[in-house]
A and B are shown apart, each in its own frame.
Chain A
């Protein structure tokens, strides 16, 4: 048992993590009959006062922080992080960091609902099915992400 924990605590190579995340999708569908998706769980959270329905996605997303806790404790890096180290190293003040995180979050939430899914529902589950909407959404995710990161971080790094 001890060795299993030690094994899990080591950094996972990309193919182990990728295989585990990929295998999760069909196993989840087999066990629950559901198609995994996360951004729609946020939509459920925005609609708590709405008519009663099956809000399984809300329960699923509420489990994610528990998983994060397990993941972090297996690695024994328990220190709380109140700022983004990368931004701090580049001289971005905390207020601006939180502004970037909030603005980024708004765009992520808005874009995911407009596109009909996020990196889980579209880029893994949808692309694995070869769905047109998911391929096009994922292309958008990547183009938007690459362009923004290149502009933002190259500018931050070039600042005196």
Chain B
């Protein structure tokens, strides 16, 4: 039952990513080429909205497991590597899966790549990801 709730939440988030055009290869590429700032606007408004919502939750002590992620010296390096992959594949971990559902079959290759990269990092470097929550 609990699994179904999370499945449904994931479907809701995937729907929003799709409607936001975050799953659109051209929208991501044109954001990086500064030709179409639609997604930049989406991300900016999303951050501002989430910030207000999280502050409201915090003020009422209802933030659950929301907590700042830990910093370590390889965060920026990891970010850079992610960014290179983001531009090459035109997608990030969540949107790649939403793309598959949209019928963009090629994204199955991206998803396989993300799984391989995740597996590789978990087994190669002893930098632990943010603690499981």
Contacts and interface: CB of A to CB of B under 8 A. Distances in A.
A86 B100 contact: no
Interface core residue of B16, B54, B100 (most chain A CB under 10 Å): B16
Nearest to A10: B19
B68 to A, nearest CB: 3
Nearest to B130: A116
A120 to B, nearest CB: 5
Nearest to B56: A26
A143 B5 CA distance: 36
Contacts of A144: 79-87
Contacts of B118: 39, 42-43, 45-46, 109-110, 112-113
A77 to B, nearest CB: 8
Secondary structure of the A contact surface, majority rule? helix
A119 B42 CA distance: 12
Interface string B39-80: 101111111111101101100001111111111101111111
B81 A34 contact: no
B47 A28 contact: no
Contacts of A142: 83
Contacts of A57: 6
Contacts of A106: 85, 113-114, 116-117, 120
Contact of A104 (B94, B110, B132): B110
Interface core residue of A53, A81, A97, A123 (most chain B CB under 10 Å): A81
A134 B132 CA distance: 16
Contacts of A150: 32-33
A30 B86 CA distance: 30
B113 A145 contact: no
Interface core residue of B44, B54, B65, B93 (most chain A CB under 10 Å): B93
A149 to B, nearest CB: 3
B109 A67 contact: no
B117 A40 contact: no
Given A61-B97, A71-B14, A128-B48, 5 more contacts: A17-B46, A45-B118, A80-B105, A86-B90, A133-B75
Query: Top 7 A-B pairs ranked by shortest CB distance?
Result: A140-B79, A144-B83, A105-B113, A67-B14, A63-B10, A71-B18, A18-B45
15 contacts: A12-B19, A28-B9, A32-B64, A33-B64, A46-B118, A62-B10, A84-B25, A105-B116, A106-B114, A110-B85, A111-B82, A114-B74, A116-B69, A116-B78, A118-B94
